[in-house]
Structure 1
Amino acid sequence: MTTPPVPDLTPEERQHLHQFYKVLHTHPELSMQEYRTAERIEAELESMGVESFRCAGTGVVAVVRNGEGPVVALRADTDGLPMLERTGVDYASQDRGTASDGTEVPVMHGCGHDTHIACLTTALRMLLRRRTDWSGTLVAVFQPGEEVGQGARAMVADGLWERVPRPDVVLGQHVSNQPSGTVTMAIGPAMAGTDSLRVTVHGKQAHGSRPHLGIDPIVLGAAMISRLQTIVSREVDAHEPAVVTVGVFRGGLKENIIPERAEFTVNIRTLTEPVRDQVLAAVKRIVRGEAEVAGAPVPEIEHYSQLPPTINNVDAAKQTYQAIEQALGAELVSVERPRMGSEDFGLLGKEAGVPSVLWFFGGAEAGAVDPPGNHSPFFAPPLEPTLSTGARTMAAAALHWLSTPSIAHG
């Protein structure tokens, strides 16, 4: 069956989309604290006559039944970031929140999750007025806590897939700093898996003027960090993508005291399990080996966070790609390489045991040189064609699956 054509938004839908997006952008909330955001989503769904329920505290789930047919889940993430917004737009966030360590921080939708919410709710509006073009069940998942990698797991643990009809496919999208109006998709691996480690380096405290009486954990930690940079360049096959980043280093309280300990974090990005295992093993070997050479105690290595790669089911991705291409035009849709960023979206399809597909839509001004990207304090996608593209793309993808009599998981 051919996917029904996806018309443009009505003027009323576009105006409402812009207004709702601006409210969301002005009032972001931190991960797993999206209380007002959840209430706004619920009110939006209620205005469409769509019932919803809470899942994992601040997650919102809606189910729209329209006769017999496939079950299609659509996902949008909802959390903001602890960042001070510097976009200069008149709807910029001035809100603040409480971080996990108890400190008060500025909050911004610096990753574009506000666009995801607004586009999904608008896609639902479009699909509701096109009920005669499709048959089946829509499950809209507004997921909290993507930025901390907790939201998808929390919703599954709270019985998400037991509380709704089990989907045949899970679809999601993410805004990025590619040109507004465009859509890109990877066929197969789409985003890297990530592992985060915390390394505690133990030394021996001494006076700064008598370093020979101590074991300096700062110098030792620096040696570890320098050697870690050789894993990708000298151990991993050049054809296999991998990233090793040290994002935090802490050690010492005073310039003339060699401290007793230092700490740093390691973030690893890989696309395949064999490379992940290789990099993890190399990190542990180097950290422990450098400590042994320095005559220092064995370091502590805490593996505190992990997300699997996001893998687009090949058959489902090809079908979804074609539907989006049909809706937007071939000149605006293209296949891309996997990205080394990470997402917890893939866990939703994995835990449901069904295919999932994630794609990206543009949020950068046309012709912009080096436009601000996600997690930049200057990231503010132009309203159009960003928002209309996101809404139409989600509607087109859903319409394809909801107008397909049978779905083979492949």
Structure 2
Amino acid sequence: MLRSFAALVALVATAPLSAQLPTPELKKQVEAMRPALDATYLQLHRAPELSRQEVKTSAFVADELKKLGYTVTAHIGRYEDGSPALGLVGVLKNGAGPTILIRTDMDALPVTESTGLPYASKVHATNPQGQDVGVMHACGHDTHMSVFLGVAKILAGNRGAWHGTVEMLAQPAEEVIAGAKAMMADRLYDRVPRPAVVLDMHDTNNYATGTIATAPGPLLASSTSVYVTFHGIGAHGSTPANGKDPIVMGAEFVVLAQAIVSRQIPAQNPAVLTVGTFHAGTKNNIIPDDATLGLTLRAYDEPTRKTLVDGVTRTANAVAAAYNVAADKMPTITIPEQTVPTVNDASLAAKLRETAVATLGADKVETATPIMGSEDVPFLTDNGSIPLGMFWLGVADPAALAESHRTGKPLPNIHSPLFAPVYEPALTTGVETMSAFAMRLLQ
């Protein structure tokens, strides 16, 4: 029977750090892995694959885990349209003890790399719309996978320092917020043991390479994609009174919707409402029948998210009503994509910080500031019933980061075609931190 998380926390609270692989020995082993880590990173960076197309990437990760002695279950996941996903889990059992899950994501973005680096991606692929697009690991999933495989090797090679079960989960389609849900929909925890905790990391230019950052509570926000379509009556541009202009309705909605955050949500509750797309019309002298706006909503808790969604609905309907739109032509509002906040368990975050300080040194461990970006790793926690422990892995050049802080000019961060992680010592830092933390939990 799996130990409960409360029992696991009690064990961790009393387990001395010396029960693990000693820090000097861990550092020695990870440093010896550096050439292989670098080679893996460069290989993955040069060969990115779009979401739901991670055929070669997933095969590579599965093969590497098998070489290390993990029992791999591949092709886990089913998307909402019924198509199969390319998720996989490598399981390594090492006697009685707790089960932990360590997750990485695998997909890349439809971004044409502009870094000018000698190992820059030159890959092109066809996106779901049939367009030819450049492809780049502009979110750092190549870093994540490299660290993930390094941790898998450390754990496989040091079984005397821990006991229990390790599950190394490689997830597809994170960028489209679909992969974790697809794996859960395919009975993930019927196919592999249900873990006591889920562990994860994400790279960022907000912290210097060689450092990590973590904190209890929210690290990332929920993300809700909303489409609002105003239905009007088309007319000639010279006679607008003969129609009902959905572009004017949409424009008024854009302005009024900003008051949802500023006037309907308490100032103490962070929230974001951004209108990112506005599509309408085919010619400048024709009033179209419809106008569609695309929004993203961000919040750290469900009540705030609900206030945003309800506010969008009320505001859109009110604008349409003000233009005397018929009841059967009121705005169509759809939510095609959403994820929940990424919230660190307080006990896990405290133990992660303690372990990282012991492993890296206090000067290498920072307190994370929550951001309004989003992740789909919380879906692997089964509606929050499995505690999550996550940290940020710094990949910024320290001098460039200091200059950024001085001038206020941000560095190119994730999703930018200029995103260029300083992958060493980030890779070794990530492997040391996650390996030490995993072994601390597996006592």
TM range (shorter): over 0.9
Shift of 1:325: 1.9
Q: Equivalent residue for 1:320?
A: 352
**Structure 1: distance between partners of 2:125 and 2:396:** 27
- Asked if 1:145 is matched to 2:173, the reply is yes
Q: Equivalent residue for 1:135?
A: 163
What amino acid sits opposite 2:16 in the alignment?
Answer: T
- Asked if 1:396 is matched to 2:436, the reply is yes
Aligned residue among 205, 210, 221 for 2:234 = 205
Q: Equivalent residue for 1:407?
A: none
Q: Equivalent residue for 1:121?
A: 149
TM-score normalised over the length of structure 1:
0.95
Aligned residue among 57, 60, 77 for 1:40 = 60
What amino acid sits opposite 1:326 in the alignment?
Answer: A
- Counterpart secondary structure, 1:147: coil
The question of whether the paired residues in 2 share the 8 Å contact of 1:320 and 1:400 is answered with: no
Q: Equivalent residue for 1:385?
A: 425
Q: Equivalent residue for 1:307?
A: 339
Q: Equivalent residue for 1:240?
A: 269
Gaps of 5+ in 2: 1-14, 78-84, 405-409
Aligned residue among 27, 43, 55 for 1:23 = 43
**Structure 1: distance between partners of 2:190 and 2:288:** 52
What amino acid sits opposite 2:332 in the alignment?
Answer: E
- Counterpart secondary structure, 1:265: strand
Q: Equivalent residue for 2:366?
A: 334
Shift of 1:376: 0.6
Structure 1, residues 155-203: CA drift from partner, whole Å, max 9, x if none? 1121221122221111000001121111111201221111111111111
Greater per-residue helix proportion: 2
The question of whether the paired residues in 2 share the 8 Å contact of 1:70 and 1:137 is answered with: yes
- Asked if 1:222 is matched to 2:256, the reply is no
Q: Equivalent residue for 2:186?
A: 158
What amino acid sits opposite 2:219 in the alignment?
Answer: A
Report the number of matched residues. 403
Q: Equivalent residue for 2:132?
A: 104
The question of whether the paired residues in 1 share the 8 Å contact of 2:209 and 2:423 is answered with: no
- Counterpart secondary structure, 1:295: coil
Shift of 1:338: 2.1
The question of whether the paired residues in 2 share the 8 Å contact of 1:232 and 1:244 is answered with: yes
Q: Equivalent residue for 2:198?
A: 170
Q: Equivalent residue for 2:416?
A: 376
What amino acid sits opposite 1:187 in the alignment?
Answer: P
**Structure 2: distance between partners of 1:130 and 1:49:** 12
The question of whether the paired residues in 2 share the 8 Å contact of 1:87 and 1:380 is answered with: yes
State which drifts further: 9-18 or 319-328. 9-18
Aligned residue among 257, 277, 281 for 2:286 = 257
- Asked if 1:87 is matched to 2:101, the reply is no
- Counterpart secondary structure, 1:358: strand
Q: Equivalent residue for 2:313?
A: 284
The question of whether the paired residues in 2 share the 8 Å contact of 1:185 and 1:321 is answered with: yes
The question of whether the paired residues in 1 share the 8 Å contact of 2:115 and 2:420 is answered with: yes
**Structure 2: distance between partners of 1:134 and 1:181:** 25
Q: Equivalent residue for 1:273?
A: 302
**Structure 1: distance between partners of 2:383 and 2:309:** 25
Question: In percent, how many aligned pairs have the same letter?
Answer: 40
Q: Please identify runs of 4+ aligned residues in structure 1 that moved more than 6 A.
A: none
**Structure 1: distance between partners of 2:310 and 2:70:** 49
**Structure 1: distance between partners of 2:201 and 2:110:** 22
The question of whether the paired residues in 2 share the 8 Å contact of 1:30 and 1:79 is answered with: yes
Gaps of 5+ in 1: 404-410
- Counterpart secondary structure, 1:114: helix
What amino acid sits opposite 2:318 in the alignment?
Answer: G
TM-score normalised over the length of structure 2:
0.88
Shift of 1:12: 4.2
**Structure 1: distance between partners of 2:215 and 2:397:** 23
